[in-house]
Chain A
Amino acid sequence: DTAVSQTPKYLVTQMGNDKSIKCEQNLGHDTMYWYKQDSKKFLKIMFSYNNKELIINETVPNRFSPKSPDKAHLNLHINSLELGDSAVYFCASSQVDRPKNIQYFGAGTRLSVL
C-alpha cells in the first residue's frame, strides 16, 4: 500500500493548457505539502495545508491553485501552463504534532510543457 500517492507520474502537455495533479495519503497525517524540484534538483516548497487549511503559500504564480477536499487529499491545479513550469512536482505529508514531524513524499510527477 502506497503511503503517499500522486497521479499522474508523467504529464506532457502544451503551453497554455490547464492541468491537475492529484495527491492522496493514507497515513492519517494532518498536513500535506506541494514541492517543485527544478532541473538542478533544487526542492522548494510551494504550499502546505493543515487539516484542509492553507498554512504555507510561498511566492508562486497565482496560476497554481491547491485544493484540499479533505485532509487526505491535496490536489494541484495549474492554469495556462508555461515552459518554465516544467519540473518534478512532489506531494508530501506529515503529522505536525509528532515530535519528529517527518515528511513522507510521493513518487513525484514529472511535468513537461512543450
Chain B
Amino acid sequence: AQKITQTQPGMFVQEKEAVTLDCTYDTSDPSYGLFWYKQPSSGEMIFLIYQGSYDQQNATEGRYSLNFQKARKSANLVISASQLGDSAMYFCAMREVTAGGSYIPTFGRGTSLIVHP
C-alpha cells in the first residue's frame, strides 16, 4: 500500500488564483513529519513547507499553507495567488521513525501544476 498518495497527476490554475494540491498519507507512527517539495523543470528539489504530527496549527510559509487534517490523514498544499513561476512538479513526503530509531522518508508520485497567464 502506498504511504503517500497524490491523486492529481496534473492540475491547471489561472494566474493569481489559489490552488490546492492533495496529499493523503498512511502511517501508524504517532510522531511523523510531512513535507512538500517543488521540482521546477530545471530539476532541483526545493523544500517548501513542513508540518509535524503534533503541531496544533497549520503550517504557513509565505504563499504556501498546509491544510493538515490529522483525523483524515491529509496534508494538502494550498498555494495562494499563483504565479507563472509556480509551474512545477510538487511532491508530498512523509518522515516516519522506524523500530530501530532511524528516519524513513517516503515521497508521493507528484502533481504537475501548470499556471496559465
Contacts and interface: CB of A to CB of B under 8 A. Distances in A.
Given A41-B109, A43-B91, A99 B102 contact: no
A110 B107 CA distance: 19
**SS class of chain A's interface: helix, strand, loop or mixed?**
strand
B102 A104 contact: no
Interface stretch (A11-19, A48-56, A64-72, A78-86): A48-56
A33 B105 contact: yes
Contacts, number: 56
Given A41-B89, A41-B109, A41-B110, A102 B47 contact: yes
Interface string B64-100: 0000000000000000000000000101000100001
Nearest to B112: A41
A60 to B, nearest CB: 15
A63 B89 CA distance: 30
Interface of B: 33, 35, 37, 39, 43-47, 50, 52, 89, 91, 95, 100, 102-107, 109-110
Q: List the 6 closest pairs (A to B, CB-CB), nearest first.
A: A105-B45, A43-B107, A55-B102, A100-B50, A107-B44, A41-B110
